[in-house]
Structure 1
Amino acid sequence: MPFAPCLGVKDTAVSKAFYEKLGFIVDSRTATESDDIHMVLFDGAFCGMLYRHSQLESWLPSLKDKPVGFTGMFYLEVENFQHMLDTVAAVTDIVREPSADHTGTREFYFADPDGYLIGINDAASRRDSELVGGFATES
């Protein structure tokens, strides 16, 4: 499994609905009332989890009293960058408009209902960027 986030969220139903509007699949088959965790997939591949924060604090006591959200961001690479941009813009605010980073990879950013920042990277521009052949793997 690749490095994958488990996001502690205030309300899993709100987060699930938000991500589903963006085209993610949220698989709730493993969720129970006492273990409210949901698997998140994009383009059929696992990319993270949503977990009710109050239960996450019980499961990992070191998270007790930590705020929901964080300083940092998560990235998701997509094949159809414009479609994802249009989808996200129809659901929520873009917090950083599309631009190319220093390698030539196009990206934009949005926040989810709990304040987590998601960066969307354009797969095609990444393949054409300075990253290919460096530390990035070819998809």
Structure 2
Amino acid sequence: MESLTVNTFVKDINKSIEFYKQIGFETIMTVPEEGDFVWVMLSNGGVTIMLQTMDSLGEELPDIDRNRLGGSLLFYIKLKQIRDFFESIKDKVEVVKGLEKTFYGATEFTIKDIDGYYLTFAEDEA
């Protein structure tokens, strides 16, 4: 195995793109290149996320629940300077769990995106 990139299904791809841009992600690729997007790849450092509309899926994967998004999935993202990052986004997003030091030594916080997916950011502070 070489890498893992998450592909999440979203209700409104344009609103989801804006959400991820406000926490530092940049658009890398879209389908189509212009117009009404059905898929987008976003990146921030070594983290890549793909967003896709349910309509674009068609009937290719019928077991994917088209009525419920988020909730059962948490992205665990490691980064440097977590306190500065937290300060830069805390007023722009829904913070579910504020900055805290865990029993295993990481400093973490968790936000929820507009489709109900949870993102925990973590740093192993000295």
Q: TM-score over 0.5 for the alignment?
A: yes
Residue of structure 2 in register with 1:22 after alignment: 23
For structure 2, the residue ranges without an aligned partner over 5 or more in a row are: none
Q: Does the C-alpha gap of structure 1 residues 54 and 73 become closer, same or farther in structure 2, counting only changes over 3 Å?
A: same
Shift of 1:23: 0.7
Q: Match of 2:31, as an amino acid?
A: A
C-alpha RMSD over aligned residues: 2.1
| Residues in 1 aligned to 2:114 and 2:5: alpha-carbon distance in whole angstroms | 19
Within-5 A mapping of 1:107-122: 107-122=108-123
TM-score normalized by the length of structure 2 = 0.84
**1:29-48 superposed matches below 5 A:** 29-32=29-32, 36-43=38-45, 45-48=46-49
CA distance in 2, matches of 1:100, 1:53: 37
Give the structure-1-normalised TM-score.
0.77
1:90 aligned counterpart, secondary structure: coil
Distance 1:34 1:91, change over 3 A: closer
1:7 alignment partner in structure 2: 8
Q: Percent identity?
A: 21
Whole-angstrom distance in 1 between the partners of 2:77 and 2:119: 7
Inter-partner Cα distance in structure 2 for 1:88 and 1:66:
29
* Structure in which a larger fraction of residues adopt helix: 1
Q: Distance in 2 between matches of 1:102 and 1:47?
A: 28
Task: Classify the secondary structure of the residue corresponding to 2:14.
Answer: helix
Unaligned runs of 5+ in 1: 129-139
Contact 1:93–1:110 (CA under 8 A) maintained in structure 2:
yes
- Secondary structure of the 1:115 match is coil
Q: Which has the higher strand share?
A: 2
Q: Contact 2:74–2:119 at 8 Å: present in 1 too?
A: yes
Q: 1:30 to 1:65 in 2, by over 3 A?
A: closer
Deviation at 1:83, TM superposition (A): 2.1
